[in-house]
Chains A and B, each alone.
Chain A
């Protein structure tokens, strides 16, 4: 009840003064713990007894000390809710949205007892069950406890389109779909999932999805900054080359400097995600083939605040920007010390262009990080981040480093060394060890992200705000999957496969009840295709052939289509203008083999062509009214049948049905 009812009231009316940075009367109303702890004058809430609770008295209209102050007054409905909530405090076990460190796996009983007590007790599937079974059990329990009837399973054709788009980043060709539909294997959906995970398309698709998740679309600002750190480019590849824009230049650097290859190999070789995170943060890959990992930090061009924000949101699933100046105003677990702890890990780092490419050097001295809170008190940062361990920064005695302090000395300016500078004591090494060691957030953030990718929204939504203000919709399942992911070698394919095999992934898109809260996952959510999946799918729709998924869509399309992880999806005018007029669509459409004119003029063969086309593009048969409409369209345009067919392909691929995976 805290999360659902009480917290929103405190958040709206109270935490501006009783939270962070302001904490009037010593009272912190951001968390249940804070409310129960009370303020300078003692407790403000007596569990079970609103009539004895100072807080409840003060929010009444006309109270002696009337809160909120001045003319503000809580609506009576909210006062009533607070009363009910205080009364319920006696019976309700303490809950916390922040379960990363407290999650426990208890041996469970059978599913029915779990269901009965789901809301008040953390039942977990026994360890050793398959992750798919765990998902099925916990989702079923949640639906039952919420008295929700989930949609039925989707049909095979819908499943094929959905799985191809989610795992391979494109729709199936007609023969690929047919092969699946005709298969008589009882486990043919599982087989398709495995087949797609082993296809080259999977690694390219996930490369592109995680390029966006980790780097965002190339920005003007970072292009101009990082261009100063890159040397050795041929004239036509420089940022100021004729016809080059900063954004396009940066996009090409991601290819040229090995970043995209690195990401591709992560998924092609199914490398453990915790190792990948470690490589991205440390930027000292042991293997030359993994040099592209350096680009994650390098593109941020020594902007250590940007690095702090990117690391926390893309790898740990939390946003800490506001903790730069003060503890998080709403989420009490996010402290100013976390922001500066993470910042200190990277603040001695410096971009260096080596003979082998971009690398992250480090200074042996300097940049001791301390910070000041809004009360003016000053603190030394310790190397730490949420969920990890904390170690102090080492103070260095001398301000000047000597060569003795380095394995590889700090390169002089304008001198291209073979390797980036490497101090004997590396604060980045120490800090990365501290923040990654046994840190449950790395698995949780990744599991939540993959869940969001496949199910259309995360347990925590949006995916980069995994804090106590945004409790997960299914905390037990998120805990279970995260632990399972961590204890099975951070195996990415295993995680994707487990989710794709689950019942919840395979539900139909039509809800049983239209008012279903999306966080119940009671039906399949529509997921807008990302730019590359759209690009490759249009190619399949037009040519009925497998596309080269290693190529990427034009940058302009990637800039226009929103990230698959954005909180809400909004179609923009720019998107509609692009699909209507940009040459990309025309180029793909004219690459098609036009059907022979006589096929279109003959009603029988024309109908069969329309059926085939609907099957390929939409993955379904045309409805009678659609068949009629399109047949009529062809007959009116019989003077130019081939153009008419191309227009049909345009109209289908730019329709909302094609735009979404459902």
Chain B
């Protein structure tokens, strides 16, 4: 079990106090409330130990849409022309510094592997989102499945009836990410590997019993349906019927798990630790879903990171929240004994430019940026690759889309180079990662 660590909540002295009086007030008020409710936590964790022990691997992807700045997070360049106003602080790994906006993660740097030498193909949101969620450049007309679909396919459908892949997103409309969300998630994999989407305006469709039908009646009629349908399946040896009946077999599991998606039902203390923002609450929900047998949760958060204007001010608001939420997530997973089987990934689609725009923003930048991972299969306390003094170019060990995905798959125990089996369908040869791209061994446990 992890050492005693003060759980970061808004009541203590983080840099966010300096910036937003509104947040501070909210934080203080909520912090006070949290102490009276904290006993909830005693009951909130242990019920799920049997799944933890099963060793099933899982993954949470914190998808920082819009792309955060590496300068204000994992790769600070203080006192340089490009570094911006924030200082760097030491971490619990001697010699490794990160931005002062991330004090909590700094204290648990031994859990994280950071890649500072991301060098990717596109600095256009729509294209980079595609490339970094699918792990390769497009090859029309074929659509490579997104990471969550591949992991869901590779790890198998949870027996509990929980979905293998969930996408949480507060923002249904109105940003660059929307094309991705309207697009084809599962690509050439079966439709069952598309995500169940919820959050914001999304709800799991048709998850609640129709009005006027009691639970008893609901079960009775399903039993009758199954009897009639099974008769037909057996008599005809029907594949259509087999698929049809198998889908119905999953309905009640899905319905009984629908309440697991209600953030309001989670402990108030946890809501305070992760909230009040939608991103934090969705990360909490992700933890909860992973505890309850979902394999992969992608948490996306609109476009706040796209800081073409006032980069420093916006990062001063956003990074402390990110730091708090991410460190709470790692702590919680560790306390539950789940971190060693749960891979946590935090990244955007690219980084931000060393130079400032006319409106004091940082623009898109894909030549040298950073991302972080922790947990399953990851060697903590490692920084891989480096950028030059001003953060303009990668100077050692560049990592592209393919190598990153090879690393993620390897960390999850999934063969990164396996060829897809299209079961006789005429397709070119595709692999989880093409051209035998090498995983980044240094960050792997």
Chain A residues in the interface with B (C-beta under 8 A): 11, 16, 219-221, 309, 319, 321-322, 324, 329-330, 469-470, 509-510, 514, 526, 528, 556, 567, 569-578, 580-583, 585-586, 623, 625-626, 629-630, 633, 637, 643, 647-648, 650-652, 654-657, 659-660, 662
A660 to B205, CA, bound (A): 24
Indicate whether B81 reaches chain A with its CB closer than 8 angstroms.
no
Question: 14 new A-B pairs (CB below 8 Å) besides A16-B429, A652-B225?
Answer: A16-B428, A319-B141, A469-B426, A571-B240, A571-B243, A571-B247, A573-B251, A573-B254, A583-B210, A650-B221, A655-B229, A656-B232, A657-B241, A659-B244
Give every chain A residue within 8 A of B224 (Cβ-Cβ). 629-630, 633, 647-648, 651
User: Quick one: which of B392-445 are within 8 Å of A by CB?
Assistant: 425-426, 428-429
B206 touches A581 (CB 8 A): yes
29 pairs, A vs B, C-beta closer than 8 Å: A11-B426, A220-B182, A309-B141, A321-B141, A322-B141, A526-B236, A526-B240, A571-B243, A571-B244, A571-B246, A573-B254, A574-B206, A576-B251, A577-B254, A580-B218, A581-B206, A581-B209, A583-B210, A586-B210, A586-B213, A629-B224, A633-B224, A650-B225, A651-B225, A651-B228, A652-B225, A656-B229, A656-B241, A657-B229
A656 touches B205 (CB 8 A): no
B205 touches A329 (CB 8 A): no
A648 to B221, CA, bound (A): 7
A656 touches B240 (CB 8 A): yes
CB distance from B285 to the nearest CB of A (A): 20
User: Quick one: which of B233-249 are within 8 Å of A by CB?
Assistant: 233, 236-238, 240-241, 243-248
A578 touches B206 (CB 8 A): yes
A577 touches B206 (CB 8 A): yes
B244 touches A581 (CB 8 A): no
Give every chain B residue within 8 A of A221 (Cβ-Cβ). 179, 182
The residue that B247 contacts in the complex, of A321, A572, A660, with Cβ under 8 A, is A572
A573 touches B140 (CB 8 A): no
A577 touches B251 (CB 8 A): yes
User: Quick one: which of B169-210 are within 8 Å of A by CB?
Assistant: 179, 182, 190-192, 205-210
Q: Nearest B residue to A559 by beta-carbon distance? A: B205
A535 to B398, CA, bound (A): 56
B237 touches A514 (CB 8 A): yes
CB distance from A566 to the nearest CB of B (A): 10
A321 to B139, CA, bound (A): 11
A570 touches B210 (CB 8 A): no
Give every chain B residue within 8 A of A657 (Cβ-Cβ). 228-229, 232, 241
A238 to B161, CA, bound (A): 39
Indicate whether B222 reaches chain A with its CB closer than 8 angstroms.
yes
Contact with A along B207-223 (1 / 0, CB 8 A): 11111110001101110
Give every chain B residue within 8 A of A569 (Cβ-Cβ). 240, 243
Q: Nearest B residue to A576 by beta-carbon distance? A: B247
A330 to B426, CA, bound (A): 9
The prevalent SS among residues of B at the interface is: helix
Q: A322-B141, A573-B254 are in contact. Are A510 and B236 (CB under 8 A)?
A: yes
A576 touches B250 (CB 8 A): yes
Indicate whether B231 reaches chain A with its CB closer than 8 angstroms.
yes
Give every chain B residue within 8 A of A470 (Cβ-Cβ). 426
A570 touches B250 (CB 8 A): no
A509 touches B236 (CB 8 A): yes
A220 to B173, CA, bound (A): 11
A623 to B235, CA, bound (A): 12
CB distance from B40 to the nearest CB of A (A): 31
Give every chain B residue within 8 A of A309 (Cβ-Cβ). 141
CB distance from A389 to the nearest CB of B (A): 27
CB distance from B417 to the nearest CB of A (A): 14
CB distance from A2 to the nearest CB of B (A): 15
Indicate whether B310 reaches chain A with its CB closer than 8 angstroms.
no
Q: Nearest B residue to A511 by beta-carbon distance? A: B237
The residue that A581 contacts in the complex, of B207, B233, B250, with Cβ under 8 A, is B207
CB distance from B245 to the nearest CB of A (A): 6
CB distance from A503 to the nearest CB of B (A): 21
Indicate whether B39 reaches chain A with its CB closer than 8 angstroms.
no
CB distance from A87 to the nearest CB of B (A): 26
Best-surrounded residue of A11, A580, A643 (most CB of chain B within 10 A): A580
Give every chain A residue within 8 A of B141 (Cβ-Cβ). 309, 319, 321-322
Give every chain A residue within 8 A of B254 (Cβ-Cβ). 573, 577
B206 touches A660 (CB 8 A): no
Q: Nearest B residue to A622 by beta-carbon distance? A: B228
Q: Nearest B residue to A528 by beta-carbon distance? A: B240
Give every chain A residue within 8 A of B191 (Cβ-Cβ). 570, 572
Give every chain A residue within 8 A of B179 (Cβ-Cβ). 221
A219 to B207, CA, bound (A): 24
CB distance from A414 to the nearest CB of B (A): 25
CB distance from A11 to the nearest CB of B (A): 7
CB distance from B422 to the nearest CB of A (A): 11
CB distance from A323 to the nearest CB of B (A): 10
The residue that B140 contacts in the complex, of A321, A572, A582, with Cβ under 8 A, is A321
Q: Nearest B residue to A570 by beta-carbon distance? A: B243
B206 touches A656 (CB 8 A): no
Give every chain A residue within 8 A of B240 (Cβ-Cβ). 526, 528, 569, 571, 656, 659-660
CB distance from A217 to the nearest CB of B (A): 12
The residue that A576 contacts in the complex, of B140, B237, B248, B429, with Cβ under 8 A, is B248
Give every chain A residue within 8 A of B206 (Cβ-Cβ). 574, 577-578, 580-582
B238 touches A656 (CB 8 A): yes
B209 touches A575 (CB 8 A): no
B236 touches A623 (CB 8 A): no
CB distance from B35 to the nearest CB of A (A): 41
Give every chain A residue within 8 A of B251 (Cβ-Cβ). 573, 576-577, 580
B210 touches A581 (CB 8 A): yes
A140 to B428, CA, bound (A): 36
B231 touches A573 (CB 8 A): no
A42 to B335, CA, bound (A): 70
A637 touches B207 (CB 8 A): no
B228 touches A655 (CB 8 A): yes
Give every chain B residue within 8 A of A629 (Cβ-Cβ). 224, 227
A572 to B241, CA, bound (A): 12
A651 to B141, CA, bound (A): 41
CB distance from B56 to the nearest CB of A (A): 20
CB distance from B236 to the nearest CB of A (A): 7
Contact with A along B273-313 (1 / 0, CB 8 A): 00000000000000000000000000000000000000000
Q: A573-B192, A647-B217 are in contact. Are A556 and B231 (CB under 8 A)?
A: no
B243 touches A574 (CB 8 A): no
Q: Nearest A residue to B141 by beta-carbon distance? A: A321
CB distance from A10 to the nearest CB of B (A): 12
Q: A322-B141, A581-B209, A582-B206 are in contact. Are A572 and B192 (CB under 8 A)?
A: yes
The residue that B220 contacts in the complex, of A577, A586, A637, with Cβ under 8 A, is A637
A580 touches B248 (CB 8 A): yes
